[in-house]
Amino acid sequence: EKGGYDHFMLKEIFEQSSSIHDTIRGRVSTKNNEVFLGGINDVIPKLVNARRILIIGCGTSWHAGMVGEYLFEEFARIPVEVEYASEFRYRNPVIFKDDIVLAISQSGETADTLAAIKLAKEAGATVLGICNVVGSSIPRETHAGVYTHAGPEIGVASTKAFTAQVTVLTMMAMVVGYRKGTLPKEEYHKLIQEFGKLPAKIKKILEKDAEIKELSKQYVDSTNALYLGRGYLFPVALEGALKLKEISYIHAEGYPAAEMKHGPIALIDEQMPVFVAATKDKSYEKIVSNIQEVKARKGHVIAIVTEGDSVISKMADYVIEIPETQEALAPLLTVIPFQLISYYIAVLRGCNVDQPRNLAKSVTVE
Ligand code: F6R
Give the ipTM of the model, two decimals please: 0.99
**What does the longest C-alpha to C-alpha distance in the chain come to?**
56
Answer yes or no: is the C-beta of 165 below 6 A from any ligand 1 atom: no
CB 328 within 8 A of CB 232: yes
Cα-to-centroid distance, 186 and ligand 1 (Å): 35
Contacts (Cβ under 8 Å, ≥6 apart) of 276: 227, 228, 229, 237, 257, 287, 290, 291, 294, 301, 302, 303, 304, 316
Answer yes or no: is the C-beta of 61 below 6 A from any ligand 1 atom: yes
Determine which residue's CA is closest to atom 16 belonging to ligand 1.
Answer: 105
Mutation pick for ligand 1 pocket among 158, 162, 168, 247 (CB with most ligand atoms within 8 Å): 158
Cα-to-centroid distance, 328 and ligand 1 (Å): 23
Look at residue 366 in the predicted model and tell me its pLDDT. Answer: 82
Look at residue 280 in the predicted model and tell me its pLDDT. Answer: 96
Answer yes or no: is the C-beta of 86 below 6 A from any ligand 1 atom: no
Q: What strands lie across the sheet with 53-57, from one edge to the other?
A: 80-84, 53-57, 100-105, 126-131, 144-147
Answer yes or no: is the C-beta of 132 below 6 A from any ligand 1 atom: no
Look at residue 299 in the predicted model and tell me its pLDDT. Answer: 95
Cα-to-centroid distance, 340 and ligand 1 (Å): 18
* Ligand 1 atom, smallest distance to 57 CA: 16
Look at residue 365 in the predicted model and tell me its pLDDT. Answer: 83
Let me know if 9 is exposed, middle or buried by CB neighbors in 10 A (0-12, 13-18, 19+). buried
Look at residue 358 in the predicted model and tell me its pLDDT. Answer: 87
Determine which residue's CA is closest to atom 11 belonging to ligand 1.
Answer: 59
Residue ranges of the chain with pLDDT lower than 70? none
Look at residue 357 in the predicted model and tell me its pLDDT. Answer: 86
Look at residue 294 in the predicted model and tell me its pLDDT. Answer: 95
* Ligand 1 atom, smallest distance to 113 CA: 16
Total count of residues recorded for the chain: 366
* Ligand 1 atom, smallest distance to 156 CA: 8
